[in-house]
Amino acid sequence: MSDLNTIVSTYLGVSGILAEIIGIVAYAVAVSILIVAFDYVFGWVERKTIAKIQKRHGPTYAGKYGILQNMADFVKLLSKEHVVPKRADKLLFLPTIPAMLALSVFLIFLIPLTPELIETNIGLGLLVILVLLSFMPLIIFANGFGSGNKFAAISAQRSVVMLLSYEIPLVFVIAAVGVLANGYTLSGIMSAQNHWWFVFLMPIGFFVFFIVMLAELERPPFDMREADNELIAGWLTDVSAPYYTLALFLDYTRMFLGSLLIAILFFGGWNGPVLPPVVWLLLKVFIISFFIMIVRATTVRMRIDRLLRFGWTWLLPLSLLNLILIYLLFIG
């Protein structure tokens, strides 16, 4: 915690364990505020963008340009009754959504947002994130089966099928990134992209990673877990008011996480002229999230068995090819 320490001690004039605690708390609060702000702003931006694509106006009544609409929805959802179905296994059903949210927030804490604050930059950062990210479909599986709803159960099955279809290509792409950056620390990956972003060095890897991230984030065309026209709301079918609010937050927090990962792994992270690094990073995140949004409005949902086939016949060979090419071109 050396850097936070120095910042706190230079600005506040305290030192030792107190400075360390203040530093940790301040960082946690700042990142949490950032996450909530992103969730809120993107909840609104997504509504407005998709409305514009669909020739609608989107929210207009609550606040200027409907900026308060999400707040209104949030308050409304919190005021609703929380219903836990009788047939639900409470041990599995209740803690899963808070656990997922906590996991996503924790993963964002693991990402160094500026070069100065590298205490979050743990040794095998990317691999830790990869491992923890793979828990998400399993948590969804637990929630789906725990809720005792058949639609949720089908969603849980789909969750596992999705895990099978994209997790291995993801590992290969991350291995290729590790090969290029000569390590798995996130700051190392970003500083390796000083001259050339990895998106130019391995476009195939980026293609695979982007698709896998869309699937990971339950974004269309890979939102089969939540497929609202088929499974009502999938694993969220029986989730009611406060937990559903959390689920909405979870959606955007995961999108933030996914966009951060794409920005860091392929678009140089905080690299960029003039503006401070954190601004560059957030700008890239914003653009990537925006793109994910546009994909949502313009595509059709894939079928789960097709995703499995797509994963094994396209993504896996492509990611392997990517790894081999990277090895031959840059190492061998």
Partner 1 sequence: MAITRINIGPVHPSTHGVIRLVADIDGDTVVNLEPHIGFLHRGVEKLVETRMYMQSPPYMEKLDYVAPMSYDEAYVAAVEKAMGVEVKERAMWVRTILLELQRIASHLLWLGTMANDVGQFFTVFMWCFKDRDLILRLLEEASGARMFYVNMRIGGLIRDLPPGFDDRARETLNYMEKRIGEYEDFLEKNPIFIERMRGVGVMNRDKAIELGVTGPVLRGSGVSYDVRKDNPYYVYDKLNFEPQARSEGDCFARYKVRMLEMRESIKLVKDALSKMPGGDALGMQVRLILPSAKNREVTLSREMPRGECMMYMVADPQKPYRLSIRSPSFINLAALNEIAKGCRTADIFAIMGSLDLVMGDADR
Q: State the nearest-atom distance from the C-beta of 203 to partner 1, in Å.
A: 19
Residue by residue, DSSP assigns 18-61 as HHHHHHHHHHHHHHHHHHHHHHHHHHHHHHHHHHHHTT-----S
Q: State the nearest-atom distance from the C-beta of 11 to partner 1, in Å.
A: 47
Taking residue 57's Cβ as centre, other Cβ atoms within 10 Å add up to 11
The continuous run of DSSP H or E covering 133 comes out as helix 125-133
Q: Which residue has the tokens 């699937």?
A: 215
Nearer to partner 1, 55 or 86 (CB): 55
Cβ–Cβ < 8 Å for 254, 106: no
Residue by residue, DSSP assigns 101-132 as HHHHHHHHHTS--SSS-GGG--TTHHHHHHHH
Q: State the nearest-atom distance from the C-beta of 173 to partner 1, in Å.
A: 22
Taking residue 196's Cβ as centre, other Cβ atoms within 10 Å add up to 11
Q: Report residue 98 CA to chain centroid gap.
A: 15
Using DSSP's 3-state secondary structure scheme, residue 261 falls into helix
Residue numbers of the site for partner 1 (CB under 8 A)?
Answer: 50, 53-56, 150-151, 153-154, 157, 220-221, 223-224, 227-230, 232, 296-306
Q: State the nearest-atom distance from the C-beta of 270 to partner 1, in Å.
A: 32
From the list 87, 80, 50, 66, the residue with the least C-alpha distance to 292 is 50
Distance from C-alpha of 157 to C-alpha of 34, rounded to nearest angstrom = 34
Nearer to partner 1, 223 or 251 (CB): 223
Q: State the nearest-atom distance from the C-beta of 299 to partner 1, in Å.
A: 6
Nearer to partner 1, 276 or 309 (CB): 309
Nearer to partner 1, 4 or 152 (CB): 152
Nearer to partner 1, 68 or 302 (CB): 302
Taking residue 306's Cβ as centre, other Cβ atoms within 10 Å add up to 12
Nearer to partner 1, 80 or 306 (CB): 306
Q: State the nearest-atom distance from the C-beta of 75 to partner 1, in Å.
A: 25
